[in-house]
Structure 1
Amino acid sequence: MGLLVRVIPCLDVNAGRVVKGTQFKELRDAGDPVELAALYDREGADEIVFYDITASHEKRNTAVDLARDASEEVFIPYTIGGGVRSADDMRAMLRAGADKVSINSQAVRTPDIIDAGAERFGSQCVVLSVDVKRKESGAGWLVYLNGGRVNTGLDAVEWLVEGERRGAGEYVLNSMDSDGMETGYDLELISAVSERTSLPVIASGGAGHPDHMIAAVEAGASAVLAASIFHYGEYTIREVKDHLQKAGVPVR
């Protein structure tokens, strides 16, 4: 048996509330981030991921307060991202209680932040998150920044290969095409990244049923991240884990 597959709820935070939309649009309120994370902790989530989804676009400070508040109520590992601009920002989040820090937009603009974070805190603390869209030709994917607002023109797979070389510890691989659609993850994308790198891949974007998670693991994901199906009561963490376990997927 290999490593246990992690089930990870994702909490996108905007103005202090958890929100969820479709392809980064039409955001709906889903509750208080710390209360929701604490609920998922009690339900058996393996980790939590918080994203301040407008921090980079609005050039706001990092979500240190959220990291600190979560440390009082959440007792499983959690990652926080959004508006991280330097290794000092990463340090502030880690000191406030986060176990890992996710970097996205700033990593593309200043790739040295990956090296600096890995050197100062260890690769295990550095999560490279990437929002990608399939190219219009259908062959490959491009990296987008600032909550999907900016097309960088960067090839997503090549960028993640560089991220591994610079010292990232794992990836959150988010398909913007599938985000919020609940039609399944982009399995071709997961396979393409898994074949080119050795880091754990957290599949993101598209989960609508536990079967989608099984398919993601079969495509090469080490963990499955979901939002809508948990936030709006379609499935509990336990139901998902039971389903995966019955299918032979090793979970906690």
Structure 2
Amino acid sequence: MLCKRIIPCLDVTDGRVVKGVNFVDLQDVGDPVAIAKQYNLAGADELVFLDITATHEQRRTMIDVVERTAAEVFIPLTVGGGITSVAEMKAMLQAGADKISLNSAALKTPELIREGAEKFGSQCIVVAIDAKKENGHWDVYAGGGRIATGRNVIDWVKEVEALGAGELLVTSMDQDGTKDGYDIALLEAITAAVAIPVIASGGCGNAQHIVDVFEQTTVDAALAASIFHYGEVSVAEVKTAMAANGVAVRNL
């Protein structure tokens, strides 16, 4: 049985980690490098950094954050937000990222997924998908959840897989920040549609929610932010709960 991964997510803007509810009302929660070090020591399996207000100037800030983090943290690091070219992927990977997350850029130019996979390997390319339920099905949103694309989520994940993506990071906009639990139905539908690994995101409020998503779906990893950032539960406590429920874990 493959071990399931626990992945804290750090939303970064202007070089600081922030957290909001339903993609709005952002609050500063700390320095990304210091927080990443804490998670590394706490037993997190991977980390995700998302530059949520990426501009040219902030891209330089983000590269600096990645460089400083990679010098002190030795678990896989995925970086995303505003990356629109193979050259920008290369810059982040050279700064110390292990994987690149594409979202709006992949929707605008799907061929970027193939180009990145061919250049750096599929294992480096994570496609992030912000999904919201509309009229009985899930639609894909771009621009940090601000722009409805009209794309059906299931159609998009199949296309992404065919283009060479190595992993999906699926965020339920309906659940994001609510702490009511992951969107099980959404995740079940996506994992049934693709064979590549899926990371669950959006809605985690406690350790049981993480146990639930692993017991009720075939996702490969669970991502959470606020419960870890605010010390409501530790990575170790989550892994202990997983193991107690028969979920295979790493580094318990």
Same-fold status (TM-score > 0.5): yes
For the aligned pair, the TM-score class normalised by the smaller chain equals over 0.9
| Correspondences of 1:54-69 after superposition (within 5 Å) | 54-55=53-54, 61=59, 63-69=62-68
Query: In the alignment, what sits opposite 2:179?
Result: 182
Distance 1:238 1:47 in 2: 14
How far did residue 146 of structure 1 move?
Answer: 1.1
Matched-pair contact (CA < 8 Å) for 2:170–2:198: yes
Amino acid in structure 2 at the alignment position of 1:244: M
Matched-pair contact (CA < 8 Å) for 1:184–1:206: yes
Matched-pair contact (CA < 8 Å) for 1:194–1:221: yes
Query: In the alignment, what sits opposite 1:212?
Result: 209
Query: In the alignment, what sits opposite 1:37?
Result: 36
Whether 1:26 aligns to 2:25 is yes
Q: Deviations over 1:53-107 (max 9, x none)?
A: 1117x89636322221111121111100011011111111111110000000000
Query: In the alignment, what sits opposite 1:238?
Result: 236
RMSD value over aligned CA atoms?
A: 1.3
Q: Secondary structure at the residue paired with 1:242?
A: helix
Matched-pair contact (CA < 8 Å) for 1:59–1:83: no
Query: In the alignment, what sits opposite 2:139?
Result: 142
Q: Secondary structure at the residue paired with 1:67?
A: helix
Query: In the alignment, what sits opposite 2:224?
Result: 226
Whether 1:198 aligns to 2:195 is yes
Q: Secondary structure at the residue paired with 1:151?
A: strand
Q: Deviations over 1:147-168 (max 9, x none)?
A: 1111101111110110000000
The normalised TM-score by structure 1 is: 0.96
Matched-pair contact (CA < 8 Å) for 1:145–1:152: yes
Number of aligned residue pairs = 248
- Among residues 158, 162, 176, which one is paired with 2:159 in the alignment? 162
How far did residue 215 of structure 1 move?
Answer: 1.8
Query: In the alignment, what sits opposite 1:247?
Result: 245
Query: In the alignment, what sits opposite 2:51?
Result: 52
Q: Deviations over 1:106-136 (max 9, x none)?
A: 000000110000000000000000111111x
Matched-pair contact (CA < 8 Å) for 1:140–1:155: yes
What residue ranges of structure 2 are gaps of 5+ in the alignment?
A: none
Matched-pair contact (CA < 8 Å) for 1:60–1:83: no
Q: Secondary structure at the residue paired with 1:161?
A: helix
Amino acid in structure 2 at the alignment position of 1:234: E
Distance 1:40 1:13 in 2: 16
Q: Secondary structure at the residue paired with 1:74?
A: coil
Whether 1:6 aligns to 2:5 is yes
Amino acid in structure 2 at the alignment position of 1:140: H
Amino acid in structure 1 at the alignment position of 2:208: D
Q: State the percentage of identical aligned residues.
A: 50
Q: Deviations over 1:14-54 (max 9, x none)?
A: 11111101001111111001100110000000000000011
Matched-pair contact (CA < 8 Å) for 2:14–2:58: no
Distance 2:66 2:29 in 1: 19
